Amino acid sequence: MGAPQARVLLEDDRLDVEWPAAAGTAACAGLVARCRLRDGTLHESDAWAPAAGCDERFRARCGPLDVELTLRPLDGCVWMAAEATALARVDVAQVIVSATPRWLGADLAWVLTNGYQSWDPAGHLPAAGGTRESWWTIALAGDGGAGIAGAAVEARACCTRFAVADGVLSTIWCETETLETRPRLFEGPAGTGWRSDAVLLGAGPDVRATLRALLPRTARPAPATVGWLSWYHFGPWVTREDVMAHADLLARDELRSLGYRLVLVDDGWQVAYGEWRSNTKFPGGLPALAADLARRDQVMGLWLAPFLVSVAADLADQAPDDWFVLDPSTGERAIDPMHRVFGPMHVLDASHPGVRAHLRDVFAGLRDAGVRYFKVDFLYAGAYAGLRALRAGMEAIREGAGDAQLVASGAPLLPIAGLVDGCRIGPDTATPMHDFETGVSAPAVFGDEVLAVARCAAARAMLDCWFRLDPDIALVGGNLTLEQGRQLVTIAALSGGPFFAGDDLTALPPERLGLLQNPEVLQLAGGAAALPDWEPVHGNVPPTHWRRGDVLAVFNWGAEPAELGVRAPGAAGARDLWARSELPDLRDGTPLTLPSHGVRLLRLR
């Protein structure tokens, strides 16, 4: 990976990892193992000693566990994994390895954090001021971007969470987020063994490049996807007539020529959650809808929440109790505590073979009906039954969907890598609101949703190694300003993932529809993910400069107009893709005037 070479040092009983050539020595010093039992008891390791027969393995007693830690220097990083053997009967919630991260001559003042699942926050936070948690990946860096990074290699045996508190970096192996306060990692009598998934640790002058080099390459090749999605304007009130009106519009040359071919019918088409057949708003069913779209050279996409089952669905009555996640406090079928807006939902447990067969059959049947793109939502619920159950369920869905695209949402991120084509990497952009007096619905934002979308897209740009990144849709209507719409279109076009319009296109004013019809912007959809500059600031404001090859986006996230000096070393002019005009005098440092919540999109010369 071209990063500074690492070494592992055991001196007396102290265990350190160092990168001595990292522009000043970087280190994770004083490694300590800990285990947290499910009753809350925390044990800490005693002195480290070499494990017999291997100079990469180190052994310590940690309460009721004998822990062996493998630290294997590789090309610029260290491969770390833990094994534990119970010395008495145990019920373990977490196995932890902690160390003090150091960078000689620099303060590791910032933490680049990642969330557990799609909608969780991500961004850069000050290292001081409390515990900073990050799932799957982490980076600690100074103001200049140099620092130490860590990343889980996979999520098959366990989940990996990182934490930074009081100057200590901890790697925490645990179970998925379930309905229990402290989910079980493993249990058993004396002699019971457990092994973690591996983590890679690295250091370098550009911590995000270091982090990216640590990530496994599991992304599946997928075509560029451009289309329209029903949720944000029509919500659950969508009808077949709404869908076909947009199909007719997308079939016109001005949109068809830009690649708009996918029509994604979101929540509202089904009888109920768990009863995945079309309701009375879609006469003729899905095969007839898919055929109508195919006659327009369009492809049907469909939304599902495969692990959720409404208490009103037939499946809730017909399936046995062992198909469902049980409430740990009552032993009865659990109700999902997160998604209640459409009534109580049970949760399928895909550790049961009958559930896996059911999921496989549902998706195979929908694919036979003509669906070639699936948006699979609320996948966090599938993890209530544990990591292995989530992966088993997703493998069944993948088998049933065949060659159709799978794009995940609300998903624990690393566990689904390699099983899906794309994944949401941020929160919903807006909320569909319905006026019951007029019968008209429209998208609405209530706060900093645009900032939250940008913040997550910036912090997770390197995750395109795992899957295509879906920052959410190119929304331009509702109560967004015109410039906020331009920002969202720019983010969607530069994300590398699917590009979806989400408004009622039949009623958009021309200046807003024009944001979705700029050919120079639409040409960017489906390419590599843009990489934002390292610009940590207090308040977790997204970076202003985002780059992809010769394309540079410059954002003003503020509520007031701003003049920003463009960082474009070597530039000798540019083309403004939004204005579709030349800027022959643009050079590094040239001031750009941006409106409030504005963006300039440039192709540098």
For 236, the 3-state DSSP assignment is helix
Structure tokens at 386: 């544990």
pLDDT tens-digit profile of 507-557? 999 999 999 999 999 999 999 999 999 999 998 999 999 999 999 999 999
CB atoms within 10 A of CB 79: 16
pLDDT at 22 over 60: no
Structure tokens at 300: 């049907």
Q: What is the pLDDT of residue 474?
A: 96
What is the C-alpha to C-alpha distance for residues 346 and 258, in angstroms, rounded to an integer?
Answer: 42
Structure tokens at 375: 């948006």
Domain with CATH 2.60.40.1180 in the chain: 544-604
Contacts of 589 (CB under 8 A, 6+ apart): 565, 566, 567
Average of per-residue pLDDT across 491-505: 97
| 163 and 172 Cβ atoms separated by less than 8 Å | yes
Q: What is the pLDDT of residue 2?
A: 56
Amino acid (1-letter code) at residue 564? L
pLDDT tens-digit profile of 122-145? 999 999 989 999 999 999 999 999
- Fold adopted by 226-522: TIM Barrel (3.20.20)
What is the C-alpha to C-alpha distance for residues 326 and 32, in angstroms, rounded to an integer?
Answer: 36
Average of per-residue pLDDT across 12-18: 93
Q: What is the pLDDT of residue 52?
A: 85
For 444, the 3-state DSSP assignment is strand
What is the C-alpha to C-alpha distance for residues 496 and 55, in angstroms, rounded to an integer?
Answer: 43
pLDDT tens-digit profile of 382-414? 999 999 999 999 999 999 999 999 999 999 999
| 86 and 185 Cβ atoms separated by less than 8 Å | no
Q: Tokens 């001021």 — which residue?
A: 129
User: What are the backbone angles phi and psi of residue 69, rounded to the nearest 5°?
Assistant: -115, 125
pLDDT at 229 over 90: yes
What is the C-alpha to C-alpha distance for residues 101 and 274, in angstroms, rounded to an integer?
Answer: 47
- Pick one of 2.40.50, 2.40.128, 2.70.98, 2.60.120 as the CATH number of 7-214: 2.70.98
pLDDT tens-digit profile of 49-86? 999 888 899 999 999 999 999 999 998 899 999 999 99
Domain with CATH 3.20.20.70 in the chain: 226-522
The CATH code of domain 544-604 reads 2.60.40.1180
Confidence of residue 24 (pLDDT cuts 50, 70, 90): low
pLDDT tens-digit profile of 92-104? 999 999 999 999 8
| 132 and 163 Cβ atoms separated by less than 8 Å | yes
| 203 and 147 Cβ atoms separated by less than 8 Å | yes
| 263 and 298 Cβ atoms separated by less than 8 Å | yes
For 213, the 3-state DSSP assignment is helix
Q: What is the pLDDT of residue 598?
A: 98
Percent of the chain with pLDDT over 70: 99
What is the C-alpha to C-alpha distance for residues 103 and 19, in angstroms, rounded to an integer?
Answer: 9
DSSP lists the bridge partners of residue 106 as 103
Percent of the chain with pLDDT over 90: 92
Any idea what DSSP says for residue 117? Answer: B
Q: Which of 447, 89, 418, 422 is nearest to 262 (CA)?
A: 422
Contacts of 46 (CB under 8 A, 6+ apart): 13, 60, 61, 62
User: What are the backbone angles phi and psi of residue 220, rounded to the nearest 5°?
Assistant: -90, 140
Q: What is the pLDDT of residue 3?
A: 63
